[in-house]
C-alpha cells in the first residue's frame, strides 16, 4: 500500500511538473517525422495481465513495432529525435500515466512482450508478482550490457528482496545513469541461448 501511495504521489507530481515539457516533446515528434507522437504497445503486467504501455515514438512509423530493439544509435529505424529521446530516456516519460493508472510502478521489472512471458520458467514468472517498473534492478545495474537471461535473473532477485531501501537505491542509481556516458542504452547482446543457436 505504501509503495502504491508513493507511486501515485510521485507520478502525479512528475506529470504536473513535466506536463508542458512532455507536450513540447510530443509536438516535436509529430513535426520531425510522420506518425503519432505516442507509441502504444501491448505488454504483460502484474499477475500476467496485459496492458498498453506508452512511450514517445522513437522509430519510424512504418517499422515492425515488435521487432528487435536497436543495438546502436546507427540503427536506421530510429529518427534523429528518437535517438536523443532514447539516449536521455525521455521516451519513457508517458509511462508516468501507466504508473498513475496502477498498471506500472516507478520501480519493478521492465514490462516485456507476452510472447516472451510464454517462454519463462516457473522461477522467471515470479517477476509477475509485482507491477512492472519505469526502471528496475536490471536497468539500474546492467541495462544494455546484459543478456536477456541475466536481466530475468536480476528481476527475480528484485522480487525476492524488494523493499523501500532497495527501491531508493535503484532510483538513485537510475538518476546517476542518466548522466552522459554513464549507461549503455542500446542492447549489446539479447540472449545467450539464441547466440548458441547461431554458433
151's CB contacts (< 8 A; 6+ apart) are 110, 138, 142
Q: Is 81 a domain residue? A: yes
CA distances from 165 to 3, 113, 168, 170 (A): 11, 29, 5, 9
Q: Is 29 a domain residue? A: yes
Q: What is the pLDDT of residue 186?
A: 67
Q: What is the pLDDT of residue 58?
A: 94
Task: Tell me the C-alpha distance between 137 and 13, whole Å.
Answer: 23
Which tens digits make up the pLDDT trace of 169-193? 999 999 988 887 655 676 655 554 4
Domains of the chain: total: 1
Q: Is 199 a domain residue? A: no
Q: What is the pLDDT of residue 183?
A: 53
Low-confidence stretches of the chain (pLDDT beneath 70): 144-145, 181-184, 186-199
Question: Which range of residues forms the domain containing residue 175?
Answer: 2-194
Q: What is the pLDDT of residue 66?
A: 78
| pTM of the full structure | 0.86
Amino acid at each position: 500500500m505504501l509503495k502504491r501511495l508513493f507511486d501515485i504521489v510521485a507520478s502525479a507530481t512528475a506529470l504536473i511538473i513535466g506536463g508542458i515539457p512532455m507536450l513540447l516533446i510530443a509536438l516535436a515528434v509529430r513535426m520531425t517525422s510522420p506518425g503519432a507522437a505516442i507509441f502504444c504497445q501491448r505488454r504483460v503486467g502484474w499477475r500476467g495481465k496485459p496492458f498498453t504501455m506508452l512511450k514517445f515514438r522513437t522509430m519510424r512509423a512504418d517499422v515492425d513495432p515488435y521487432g528487435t530493439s536497436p543495438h546502436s544509435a546507427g540503427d536506421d529505424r530510429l529518427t534523429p529525435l528518437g535517438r536523443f529521446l532514447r539516449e536521455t530516456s525521455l521516451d519513457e516519460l508517458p509511462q508516468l500515466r501507466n504508473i498513475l493508472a496502477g498498471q506500472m510502478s516507478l520501480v519493478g521489472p521492465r514490462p516485456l512482450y507476452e510472447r516472451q512471458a510464454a517462454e519463462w520458467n516457473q522461477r522467471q514468472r515470479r517477476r509477475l508478482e509485482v507491477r512492472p517498473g519505469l526502471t528496475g534492478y536490471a536497468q539500474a545495474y546492467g541495462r544494455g550490457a546484459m543478456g536477456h537471461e541475466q536481466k530475468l535473473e536480476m528481476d527475480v532477485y528484485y522480487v525476492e528482496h524488494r523493499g523501500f531501501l532497495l527501491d531508493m537505491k535503484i532510483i538513485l542509481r537510475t538518476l546517476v545513469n542518466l548522466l552522459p556516458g554513464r549507461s549503455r542504452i542500446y542492447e549489446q547482446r539479447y540472449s545467450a541461448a539464441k547466440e548458441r543457436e547461431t554458433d
